[in-house]
Amino acid sequence: MVRDGAFTWVACEEVASPLRTRLLLWHGSSHRWVGQMALSLPVVSLAVDGQHLWVGADLSMLPNGAPVLAIEKRGLMAVPPARWVQDEISPEDWEARLKELPVREQAVHAFFSGNAARVLGLLESVPADGESLFLLAFAHDPLGLDDPRKREEYLNQLRRDFPDSPFAEVVRGMKPVTTVDSGTSAGDRSVLQSLFRRRDTNGDGRISAEEWKVWKGDAAEMSPFDVDGNGGLGIEEFDAVLRGASR
């Protein structure tokens, strides 16, 4: 890929033939495809100037091919916006495609989409394995269905029935469950502290503005979570970031 102002040129290998390339033009702000063309050579690099798209070919796969092609950009860039193609799947199409996936894959998608109720509906009736019990357990955490008793039932079953699975290894240090003053289980607190230490790279007990940028990027604002206004985040403020609860 190569950026060209508001556009991006994309070169993709043709599925049916590795010696052919599909060249596409993308308009980022509108999320639409402007146009496309086929090239009879494998592309390994792209560059642009004011008038041309420069295409570098893989000559190891095509020894007699041209190493570099110059393509006038105006051919594709002249396509009027009314003919651009929206790169968006409708909710109905998206739902239909999800239903074509195996149940366990649907559950993973639902889990990472924050749909805890759907995780439960999909996995309660399928034979248990390590991954499904892990998903069911954390679908009941405070950010999901908020049922600590069911959460522990699934975690205990995971540890008991699939002790050698990577999912059991992840949660092994999270028991026993006893509530602490914040209402968070001791196991959850241990996980929170471990995550905090990973972000607190200098170990001074707070996440500085520099450590925040390494974690979240330059564009992310720390101030909505800096409750005490000291220019850094303590562990409780860090917890609020993970939960998406700004002041």
Whole-number pLDDT of residue 241: 83
Whole-number pLDDT of residue 179: 42
Task: Write down which residue in 86, 106, 137 finishes a domain.
Answer: 86
Domain total in the chain = 3
- Whether 166 and 207 map to the same domain: the answer is no
Task: Write down which residue in 86, 109, 131 finishes a domain.
Answer: 86
Q: Strand pairing partners for 71?
A: 53
Whole-number pLDDT of residue 182: 45
Q: Is residue 179 part of a domain?
A: no
- Whether 100 and 38 map to the same domain: the answer is no
Q: Is residue 133 part of a domain?
A: yes
Whole-number pLDDT of residue 244: 64
Whole-number pLDDT of residue 118: 93
pTM for the full predicted model: 0.44
**Minimum mean pLDDT among 114-128, 154-168, 182-196, 205-219: which range?**
182-196
Task: Write down which residue in 37, 54, 86 finishes a domain.
Answer: 86
Q: Is residue 24 pLDDT above 90, yes or no?
A: yes
Q: Per the structure block, which two tokens stand in for 50? A: 């004011």
- Whether 101 and 169 map to the same domain: the answer is yes
Exposure string over 24-53, b if 16+ CB within 10 A, otherwise e: bbbbeeeebbbbeeebebbbeebebeeeeb
- Whether 6 and 81 map to the same domain: the answer is yes
Q: Is residue 106 part of a domain?
A: yes
| Cβ atoms within 10 Å, residue 145 | 16
- Whether 6 and 71 map to the same domain: the answer is yes
- Whether 46 and 77 map to the same domain: the answer is yes
Residue 51's SS3 state is coil
Mean pLDDT score across all residues of the chain: 85
- Tell me if 234 sits within 8 A of 199, measured CB to CB: no
Whole-number pLDDT of residue 184: 52
Query: pLDDT category, 185, cuts 50, 70, 90?
Result: low
- Whether 160 and 217 map to the same domain: the answer is no
Which of 25, 155, 2, 138 is CA-nearest to residue 78? 25
Q: Is residue 181 pLDDT above 80, yes or no?
A: no
Whole-number pLDDT of residue 180: 41
- Whether 99 and 169 map to the same domain: the answer is yes
Cis omega before residue 176 (within 30°)? yes
Which structural domain, as residue segments, surrounds residue 231?
186-243
Query: pLDDT category, 189, cuts 50, 70, 90?
Result: low
- Tell me if 43 sits within 8 A of 58, measured CB to CB: yes
Percent of the chain's residues with pLDDT above 90: 40
DSSP 244: T
Whole-number pLDDT of residue 105: 93
User: What CA–CA distance (Å, rounded) separates 119 from 94?
Assistant: 17
Query: pLDDT category, 187, cuts 50, 70, 90?
Result: low
User: What CA–CA distance (Å, rounded) separates 94 from 91?
Assistant: 5
Residue-wise pLDDT tens digits, 112-170 = 888 999 999 999 888 999 999 999 999 998 888 889 899 999 998 998 899 888 998 88
Q: Is residue 222 part of a domain?
A: yes
Q: Is residue 246 pLDDT above 80, yes or no?
A: no
- Whether 165 and 200 map to the same domain: the answer is no
